[in-house]
Chain A
Amino acid sequence: MTKFIGIMLLSVILVSVLAPLLSPYDPEEINLDELRRPPSLRHPFGTDNKGRDVLSRVLYGGRISLSVAGIAATLSLGIGLLVGLASGYAGEKIDTVIMVFVDFILAFPSLLLAIGVSVILPPGVYTVMIAIASVGWASFARLVRGHVLSLRSMPFIEAARAIGCSPQRILLVHLLPQCVPLVIVMMGVRIGGYILTEAALSFLGLGAQPPTPTWGSMISANRVFVVSAPWMVIFPGLAITATSLCFNMLGDILRDKYGLKISG
């Protein structure tokens, strides 16, 4: 099972990276002679409302989806790691203040907050990354903080303090490496959700702007034709589901393996 998911994940990533080589047509090339053609040998996923090849667009959409989710996850990880370390190590008042803020972010309906962020900034790929990360860091911070709290009283930290290590050194040299595996596992668990959020934001028109193909925007642009040309909606959706499924299963495996208690 693990091997199977590994192969699936790898192929999803490879296919997106190699999209320019694999896609049979230019994803933005408009061909008015072949509007809304059903799937055929020439166009395995059919063509869309402007005669563009849906397969090529799905392949290119994967690049955006994966890179946005990946970068958003890395950003969340970075911010969450720093905040969590600081909060857990500082303790007392600073910890309380930071954690109230984290709870506040977690209490927000996350999509609304992400939508809010993507309205402040002009719509686009970077905005989606920032929007996802501005919500996502909170759960990382919470996890790291809990871990730091449990590590703080460990003998090796006390020893480090006793031989006169500065707080910065304890944080960076002794605590940070202990938290890295934890947050990487957490990233694996979360990334499937980020792919869904990216899709939702671009579905709402807040993501990468046309003509750049994204899975979410392909669905929203073509949903009026869903009866006469369902392939334009079905294939991008399948791509989202398959990708997110791969990452979610990876997340499950990681969670089981490391016994992580992460809700959601």
Chain B
Amino acid sequence: MLGITALTFTLTKALPGDPALSLVGERARPEVIESIRKELNADENVLIQYVGYVKLLMKGEFGRSYYTNRKVVDDLIIKFPNTFLLAVGAMMIAVPTGILLGFLSALRRGTLLDRSISCLSVVGLSMPVFWAGILIMLMLSLKLRLLPPAGMGDFRFLIMPSLTLSLPALATLTRISRTTLIDLFPMPYVRTARAMGIGEKRVNAIHVFKNALLPIVTVIGLDFGSYLNGAVLTETIFGWDGIGRYAMEGIMKRDYPVIMGCILVGTTLYVLINLVVDITYHYLDPRVRLHSGND
């Protein structure tokens, strides 16, 4: 964690843009710029600034935005649930559909259905998220007038952004579930189960699907990074008031405390999710349990 703060801190401080300058504009009087620089402690040694920042973090604070002078923590607390909602919405679309399509494709391997699903998933992976988002917006809200085009609000506002955000994850999941399943079919224990006369459905359900879950859970977890990436673009398009757009605005305005806060929260989340994935492993795969018991 300390590594992350140090790196992002030096990174943001290395930016050539001067926040004091961009705050008051290039043409402000030098005295004004000087006074603001002092207020922001921009003249102090970078190391002192960093120590100051870590102290602030210890108190559970991220500092204040240079622009709005609001506490970054407060903003993050307001915006985080929105992004979370969006990510959950996207997952609720991507996970069941992706697994279903992948399984269907694997079970009907070689048929037209399989080929079209595989083809669609590569297309899904190759489509830029922002373009897909604009097309979805064009279709559903501007042409068919089914949904509000952008902004925040009730459930109807959530559908299009989460659909957009789910597309790349959906494509990845479909592909992974398909290959995982196909790898499992020739396994000796599956053949044994079949040879013992267990019905096709039972073999698939118990012996294949259950074992396919492990890699799929990994992908769901690891894909969280792609949700964060996608959130920056999706939230920008749909005017969704979440962390992605907040980060983007911070970066554009060189609002360092905002950038730091967003990156820290994002990375921490990512690490936490990985932890959850590891713990889930523990329950899904007895081998992992055994291994950690020996350590």
A and B held together in a complex: yes
- Which single member of B143, B232, B267 contacts A111 (CB below 8 Å)? B232
| Inter-subunit contact B131/A111 (CB<8 Å) | no
| Inter-subunit contact A120/B127 (CB<8 Å) | no
| Inter-subunit contact A112/B247 (CB<8 Å) | yes
Chain B residues positioned under 8 Å from A185 (CB to CB): none
Give the interface size bracket for A toward B: 35 or more
- Encode contact with B along A236-253: 1 for CB under 8 Å, 0 otherwise: 110011101100110010
Closest to A228 in B: B142
- Which single member of A112, A223, A236 contacts B229 (CB below 8 Å)? A112
Interface of B, helix, strand, loop or mixed by DSSP: helix
**Residue B148 lies at the interface, judged by CB distance under 8 Å to chain A:** no
| Inter-subunit contact B128/A119 (CB<8 Å) | no
Closest to A116 in B: B11
| Inter-subunit contact B126/A244 (CB<8 Å) | yes
Known: A119-B254, A219-B134, A233-B131. A248 touches B126 (CB 8 A): yes
| Inter-subunit contact A263/B222 (CB<8 Å) | yes
**Residue B158 lies at the interface, judged by CB distance under 8 Å to chain A:** no
Question: What residues make up the interface of B, taking CB atoms closer than 8 Å to A?
Answer: 3-4, 7-8, 11-12, 14-17, 122-123, 125-131, 134-135, 137-138, 142-143, 172, 219, 222, 225, 228-229, 232-233, 236-237, 247-248, 251-252, 254, 259, 262-263, 266-267, 270-271, 274
The tally of CB-CB contacts under 8 A between chains A and B is 122
Closest to A256 in B: B179
| Inter-subunit contact B233/A203 (CB<8 Å) | yes
Query: Which stretch (A54-62, A102-110, A145-153, A161-169) binds chain B?
Result: A102-110
Chain A residues positioned under 8 Å from B143 (CB to CB): 227
**Residue A226 lies at the interface, judged by CB distance under 8 Å to chain B:** yes
| Inter-subunit contact B232/A115 (CB<8 Å) | yes
Q: What 8 A-B pairs come out closest when comparing CB atoms?
A: A237-B131, A111-B229, A244-B126, A109-B228, A245-B126, A227-B142, A199-B128, A241-B127
- Which single member of A112, A236, A244, A252 contacts B228 (CB below 8 Å)? A112
A101 to B169, CA, bound (A): 26
Closest Cβ of chain B to A26, distance in Å, is: 25
Question: What residues make up the interface of A, taking CB atoms closer than 8 Å to B?
Answer: 100, 104, 107-112, 115-116, 119-120, 192, 196, 199-200, 203-204, 216, 219-220, 223, 226-227, 230, 233-234, 236-237, 240-242, 244-245, 248-249, 252, 263-264
- Most A CB atoms within 10 A — which of B126, B271, B274? B126
Closest to A236 in B: B131
A104 to B11, CA, bound (A): 14
| Inter-subunit contact A203/B251 (CB<8 Å) | no
Closest Cβ of chain A to B232, distance in Å, is: 6
Chain B residues positioned under 8 Å from A196 (CB to CB): 126, 128
